[in-house]
Structure 1
Amino acid sequence: MRPYRAVIVGTGGIAHAHAEALTSLGSSRVQLVGAVDVDAGRAEEFAKKWEIPQAATALADVLADGVDLVHVCTPPGSHVELATQALEAGATVVVEKPIAVSLASVDELLAAEASSSGSVAVVSQHRFGSGARKLRGIVESGSFGRPLIATCHTQWYRDAAYFTVPWRGSFEIEGGGPTMGHGIHQMDLLLATLGEWDQVTAVAARTSRDTDTEDVSMALVTFDSGVLASVVNSVVSPRQTSTLRFDFENATVDLEHLYGYTDDDFTVTAAPGFEDEVAAAWSKGPTGQPSNHLAQLSAVLDGLDAGTTPPVPLRTARATLELVAAIYKSAFLARPVHRGEITPQDPFASRMNGTGAPWSGS
């Protein structure tokens, strides 16, 4: 089998994580054949760094060469257009989070995927670390008892200079603030662990950053299983951390990291009297895999090899984006929001700020 031919669209910071992962997988399995960026100089510089033979300013310029994989690493507002273009060429698309700036845009992409021989995988690298996979196995087996409560906190720090980049802090281009662009990875892992959510009650505020979006949000999420979870998303927290905590009947599992975790970032605490069985259960399952792009992109290629849909499929990722939209709707309308409530006719389906952020004056 010939190696897969891959291109990267958008050559900013996150594109280097994709290039490093693809390079690590070996040229006999995948080859980077194109780098695309609206800034020709940046595309050429990226291509030179990663020894990519072609640099271009338009995706169409490289699709004609029989590309198998298109990695979309541009600002969120352009994801759907670029992914659709790649799907029309029959390529498989790997899209960075957030997938799109609205649920309506995701549904457009789902329609494009349905009429294509290609498919869409959404970057959700925290699902692929061995610790998270082991934790999901614990939930499925019930070996720690039922999960009861959880916390999911993304408390990062982005100063005023960070938001001088034109597309940042914009509902139109970025889709939202830390709820959309920063906490979405932790929230995705929360859903991957606990399953379907049922209701959310949230608040959001613009506390100090000069943006159109929030810089802090907080939410209480109820899951179908009855689990209650608190969610915090912030870009005004000087001590940066990403934390997830799951309290089961017989144990607590803590994960604390920043942008990626290893097995050592998990702590397991048994309830009194359950020490031996908790230790035995946690000792089983996968080990040694950090959460990173390499883990997910390797799984994407495995899916292509097997002729199956690569993980994480677009419809799965949509569920995470629906939670984001529900947090905004609940915060801006000051009421609980249920899963499935945001129908195509809802203003919060077509844009995350829906009827307008309270501080926008609209």
Structure 2
Amino acid sequence: MRVTILGAGGIAGAHAEAIAGLAGRDDAPQAQVTHVVDIDAGRAQAFADQYGVPHHGTSLEALLEAGEVDAVHVCTPPSVHAPAAVAALRAGVHVVVEKPAVLSLAEIDAIAAAEAQAPGGARFTQIVQHRFGHGARQLRRLLDSGELGRAYVATCDTLWFRAPAYFEVPWRGRWETEGGGPTMGHGIHQFDLLLAMLGPWSEVTAMAGRLAREVDTEDVSMALVRFESGAMASVTNSLLSPRETSDLRFDTEAATIEVSHLYGYTDDDWTFTPAPGHEDAAALWSADPAALPSGHLAQLLPTYRAFAAGEAPPITVADARGTLELAAAIYRSAFTGAPVKAGEIGPGDPFYTSMRGTGPAWAPVKEVFA
């Protein structure tokens, strides 16, 4: 497959390396990055030189019209994701986007509509690589089999630190270009994994604040989530935490299962603690030295197998929407002061077209940080 990378910023390198990694595996379909596209021609050329990409340019539309691409990886700022994805799907090209997939539920629904009508069975998927590490796959299997009993309680913490200089990049910290603060741009990876383990959520109560950074969005949010199963979880998303960690904990009838990492994990980052009276459960958990760490290659391997077979990728547009709906619910609850139930946010709701919705109560940045 001929792959185009759209956007030659920092995350694009992870995509190029992962696609190159496919070539080294006997069980992977053939794929090659043949083009890199960026609005900055010099940056596109530098990326092409660094990663050995044969062609570079500034127009995705020209490549789509020429039929020179089978899959496009969208690695641009989030505000560009939706139009690029829709254009590619309409051209019959598979789409892989970085998180967050888009800025609103309205945009993800537009992508779903484009995929439903895409020629040649073109598919859309979002990078949520933490679902694909061995530990997460093992936990999901044990929950599905019932061997861990019911899941009761979970915690999901993305405690990261971003200095003021991080937000000097013009599109960061703005609703119209980034879609939100740490809830959308950072913590979404962790609570996507939370949803992958515990299933559909039913109700959210949340708060958000802009405590320290000169941004339009929040720099901290906290939420309490109830799941359809009855399980309950807390979710914290912060960019003000000097000792950075990404932590998830799941308390079930038979055990506590935890992972603590930062931007990716291996089996060494997981711990399994049997519950009193369930000591035999320790035998359920095991490491796999041959397993890939959570990362882009771990997700792209089954994704490209699905593309090659004409099947749905392991992360569908519906999966991406479910995680995005939780983000929208966190913002809606935080900004309205009311709980939000699953399915409440639809066309006509301000939070359907923008995570900002009716807006936070805080004053404009210049008034607060003058």
> TM class by shorter-chain length?
over 0.9
Which of 217, 224, 229 is residue 220 of structure 1 equivalent to?
A: 224
**Contact (CA 8 Å) 1:122, 1:311: kept in 2 or not?**
no
Q: CA deviation at 1:306?
A: 2.0
Q: CA deviation at 1:187?
A: 0.6
What are structure 1's unaligned runs of at least 5 residues?
A: none
**Contact (CA 8 Å) 2:216, 2:364: kept in 1 or not?**
no
**CA deviation map 1:158-212 (0-9, x unaligned):** 0000001000001100000000000000010000000000000000000000000
Amino acid at match of 2:70: D
Partner SS for 1:344: coil
Which of 320, 323, 329 is residue 320 of structure 1 equivalent to?
A: 323
Of all paired residues, the percent bearing the same amino acid is 56
Amino acid at match of 1:22: I
Matches within 5 A, 1:63-78: 63=64, 64-78=66-80
What are structure 2's unaligned runs of at least 5 residues?
A: 366-370
Count of matched residue positions in the alignment of Structure 1 and Structure 2: 358
Matches within 5 A, 1:296-315: 296-315=299-318
Q: CA deviation at 1:286?
A: 9.6
1:14 counterpart = 2:17: no
1:124 counterpart = 2:121: no
How far apart, CA to CA, are the structure 2 residues paired with 1:251 and 1:315?
30
Partner SS for 1:201: strand
How far apart, CA to CA, are the structure 2 residues paired with 1:287 and 1:247?
27
Matches within 5 A, 1:231-250: 231-250=235-254
1:351 counterpart = 2:354: yes
1:84 counterpart residue number: 86
Q: Which moved more, 1:147-156 or 1:311-320?
A: 311-320
Query: Structure 1 length normalisation: TM-score?
Result: 0.96
1:270 counterpart = 2:267: no
How far apart, CA to CA, are the structure 2 residues paired with 1:13 and 1:22?
16
How far apart, CA to CA, are the structure 2 residues paired with 1:112 and 1:304?
17
1:155 counterpart = 2:159: yes
How far apart, CA to CA, are the structure 2 residues paired with 1:26 and 1:358?
51
CA spacing shift, 1:357–1:130, aligned 2, 3 Å: same
**CA deviation map 1:327-349 (0-9, x unaligned):** 00000001100000001110000
1:335 counterpart = 2:345: no
Q: CA deviation at 1:273?
A: 2.3
How far apart, CA to CA, are the structure 2 residues paired with 1:66 and 1:262?
37
1:283 counterpart residue number: 286
1:197 counterpart residue number: 201
**Contact (CA 8 Å) 2:267, 2:288: kept in 1 or not?**
no
**CA deviation map 1:113-165 (0-9, x unaligned):** 11103110111101111110000011111112111000000000000000010
**CA deviation map 1:205-226 (0-9, x unaligned):** 0000000000000000000000
Which of 188, 208, 211 is residue 212 of structure 2 equivalent to?
A: 208
Amino acid at match of 2:334: A
**CA deviation map 1:294-346 (0-9, x unaligned):** 01111111102222011211111100000000000000001100000001110
Let me know the Cα RMSD of the aligned residues. 1.5
**Contact (CA 8 Å) 2:207, 2:222: kept in 1 or not?**
yes
Query: Structure 2 length normalisation: TM-score?
Result: 0.94
How far apart, CA to CA, are the structure 2 residues paired with 1:152 and 1:255?
10
Q: CA deviation at 1:65?
A: 4.0
Amino acid at match of 2:20: T
Q: CA deviation at 1:66?
A: 2.9
